Amino acid sequence: MEIKATMDAMGQAARAAARQLAQATTATKNQALVAMASHIRASVEAILTANEIDVESARKRNQRDSFIDRLVLNPERIEAMAKGLEDIAELDDPVGATIAKWTQPNGLEFSRVRVPIGVIGIIYESRPNVTADAGALCMKSGNAAILRGGSDSINSSGAIVTCLQAGLAEAGLPKKAIQMVATTDRAAVGMMLTGLDGNIDLIVPRGGKSLVGRVQDEARVPVFAHLEGLCHVYVDKDADLDMARDIVVNAKMRRTGICGSAETVLIDKAAMENNLKPVIDALIEAGCTIRGGELVCAADSRVEAASEEDWSTEYLDAIISMKVVDGVDEAMDHIAKYGSQHTDSIVTENAETAERFLNEVDSAIVLHNASTQFADGGEFGFGAEIGIATGKMHARGPVGLEQLTSFKYQVRGNGQVRPK
């Protein structure tokens, strides 16, 4: 009951702060961001001390090294956090922009204008930098944020939120525009997912598949997320072989742990004799394990046999599945069946085939002759992003400042009443 009261109070305070923040000018919000960065820089010692407590405690619980690595802060990482806040100050403010404007014959003037969404709940794992990043993106887009980070980073996040709130106060904005859930009790997450009595409008989960899956299952408010990135590269018979090789290797191996990395390569049967072996060679040379269908296994003894499960596995590792398909139609059928509507790419010199793929593949991002690793807000020119969404509603693809807004219709008249 005590947690419920605390969380409900947070929701109400967030709603009140959101109402104020929605009317804040761009200059005021940017002033707050710059002040936040100064406070972060002035608090390096305090943040490091808090972080040491978290790291110590994670070590005692024998957490994996990769986990500790994500948790650890150092002066460089703290400076990057401060710089990130200043970068967000440089981005265009979407709030108040007129998206569309028209006049009806009766003289009513309609404007569709961007407004903040309201209160955004961010649920994330133990990367303390998400605290600064997500809090600042929500604030710049005029939204109040309720942050619930991993319990392992609670001291680090607390020290960072103190700096963010000091920045808000310095600009005359309500401190409660960015709040942190201070309890590690998981019941708090459940309460956020049901929307705190209508005081949370949107949940953004940032973390692995189990976190996102739980959020998507339990949330009763809209969620911007992707469960997984089962991204494909289809190498068409009309592909330029050198380009295909470069794109496949980059799509898989540039970084294997990100959602835009390719998990499956589909090779057109009609060019198999030319293309299959060189692509296999290039991947293996780059250090990638290949799990292949029958024809792929037959082509190279270093290929392991793929099981049915491989086609729907997001490896997030230096492993790729590979299959020979009968042209673009079978490739698109495969993607429709096994894909996650995230990001898929075709390599071909045939403009008609490319257009079919771009039009018919039902993914948030479809590429022609480019690597799937471009699935990133920065690469789109959106600046910072809070994640990538695969849902069909509202935000699809990279979620930047603009995607964190809604809109309203403003209608200006001079006494119009509606006829019968």
Interface ranges with a copy of itself (CB under 8 A): 19, 22-23, 96, 102, 104, 108, 110, 115, 117-118, 201-202, 222, 240, 243, 246-247, 249-251, 254, 336, 354, 358-360, 362-371, 373-374, 376, 379-381, 391-394, 396-397, 406-418, 420
Which pair of tokens denotes residue 142?
């005029």
Distance CA(373)–CA(250), nearest Å, equals 7
> Which residue, 73 or 365, is less far from a copy of itself as judged by CB?
365
Q: CA-CA distances (angstroms) from residue 207 to 211, 251, 304, 388, 412? A: 6, 21, 30, 12, 44
Kindly list the distances between the CA atom of residue 374 and the CA atoms of 96, 149, 205, in Å, as whole numbers in the listed order: 29, 27, 21
Closer to a copy of itself by Cβ: residue 82 or 399: 399
Minimum Å gap between C-beta 80 and a copy of itself is 17
Output 43 or 371, the one with its CB closest to a copy of itself.
371
Residue closer to a copy of itself (CB basis): 159 or 221? 221
- State in angstroms the smallest separation of the CB of 230 from a copy of itself: 14
Question: Based on CB atoms, which residue is closest to a copy of itself, 246 or 304?
Answer: 246
**What is the smallest separation between the CB atom of 113 and a copy of itself, expressed in angstroms?**
8
- The smaller minimum CB distance to a copy of itself, of residues 294 and 352, is found at 352
Look at the chain and count its residues: 420
Find the shortest distance in angstroms from Cβ 216 to a copy of itself. 9
Q: Coil, strand, or helix at residue 39? A: helix
Q: CA–CA distance from 258 to each of 181, 211, 261 (Å)? A: 27, 16, 6
Q: How far is the CB of 35 from a copy of itself (least distance, A)?
A: 25
Directed axis angle between helix 26-42 and helix 129-140, to 10°?
160
Which of 41/394 has CB closer to a copy of itself? 394
- Cα-based torsion angle of the residue sequence 278, 284, 289, 293 in order, rounded to the nearest 10 degrees: 20
Q: Rounded to whole angstroms, what are the CA distances from 80 to 76, 318, 413?
A: 6, 28, 49
State in angstroms the smallest separation of the CB of 24 from a copy of itself: 12
CB of 302 to a copy of itself, least distance (A): 24
Q: How far apart are CA 137 and CA 147, in angstroms?
A: 12
Q: How far is the CB of 33 from a copy of itself (least distance, A)?
A: 22
Distances, alpha carbon 28 to alpha carbons 32, 33, 89, 169, in Å:
6, 9, 10, 11
CA atoms within 13 A on the CB side of 380: 21
Min dist CB 48 to a copy of itself, Å, is 28
In sequence order, the β-bridge partners of residue 103 are 109
Closer residue to a copy of itself in complex, CB, 326/349: 349
Q: Are 287 and 320 in contact (CB under 8 A)?
A: no
Closer by beta carbon to a copy of itself, 135 or else 195: 195
